[in-house]
Amino acid sequence: AQSVTQLDSQVPVFEEAPVELRCNYSSSVSVYLFWYVQYPNQGLQLLLKYLSGSTLVESINGFEAEFNKSQTSFHLRKPSVHISDTAEYFCAVSAPPQGGSEKLVFGKGTKLTVNP
Amino acid sequence: NAGVTQTPKFRILKIGQSMTLQCTQDMNHNYMYWYRQDPGMGLKLIYYSVGAGITDKGEVPNGYNVSRSTTEDFPLRLELAAPSQTSVYFCATKTRYLETQYFGPGTRLLVL
């Protein structure tokens, strides 16, 4: 079975500052990793994902995450945040179909608040 | 395409009442999921389905039932509502071969 730990429940930052949202996972099989974002009063949207290949993955709005197998981490970073990045961010893990089920396991979420 | 739609958006139930949360998708996705989201707890999987006629329990199935008679619809039934079922419920879908799940806008349920 897989599990996900998001180390920070809330992260306040100032606009244009860098941010890192931390995510660690545990699994006995190889995994797929995801970051989803939830803006206020909305459903979740995929931000980025790691399935295989390059360990550094990027989103279209400037976020990036690096898969680190040895540290079982998938931290999310952005070099300069905007007010519009204020949202809750969820790290999630699933096992490839041949390795297990096709269910997502979510972390508890990190609320990012960007202040002017 | 509407994607994933959920109805109602908000509902207040009294303890012991029952209701059905509707989820409909027009993307022809095989897989459908029901999650509940509680503050500070992330999302927990209630039930899921890999195709019409096939459903299975997730992490927190007690107090809920599902059915999947068509590809498009995956209703979630609450029998004998309890205050512990106060939550925001999300439906999600995905195809068999791609890993991204697509979420609906959610149903906020309050049980008093």
Between B102 and A1, the more confident residue is: B102
pLDDT at B53: 93
Structure tokens at A62: 């400037």
Domains along the sequence of chain B with CATH: 4-98 (2.60.40.10)
User: Could you tell me whether strands B43-51 and B54-57 are parallel, antiparallel, or unpaired per DSSP bridges?
Assistant: antiparallel
Cβ atoms of A37 and A48 within 8 Å: the answer is: no
Q: Are B94 and B29 in contact (CB under 8 A)?
A: yes
The pLDDT value recorded for residue A97 is 63
Give the model confidence (pLDDT) of A4-21 as tens digits: 999 999 999 999 999 999
Dihedral over alpha carbons B20, B21, B27, B33 (to 10 degrees) = -100
A43 → closest Cβ in B45, B50, B106: B106
Q: One digit per residue, pLDDT tens: chain B, 112 residues? A: 779 999 999 999 999 999 999 999 999 999 999 999 998 899 999 999 999 999 999 999 999 999 999 999 999 999 899 999 999 999 999 987 777 899 999 999 999 9
Partner-chain contact A90 B42, CB within 8 Å: yes
Domains of chain A, with CATH numbers? 3-115 (2.60.40.10)
Residues of chain B with Cβ-Cβ distance to A40 below 8 Å are: none
* CB nearest to B100's CB, from A42, A49, A107: A49
Residue A27 confidence class, pLDDT cut points 50, 70, 90? confident
For residue A101, pLDDT over 70 is answered with no
Q: Determine the Cα–Cα distance for residues B10 and B21; give it in Å rounded to an integer.
A: 10
CB pairs under 8 A between A and B: 48
pLDDT score of A66 more than 90: yes
Q: Which residue in B99, B100, B103 has the most chain A C-beta atoms within 10 A of its own C-beta, making it the best mutation to test that interface?
A: B99
Q: What is the pLDDT of residue A98?
A: 56
Q: What is the DSSP letter of B109?
A: E
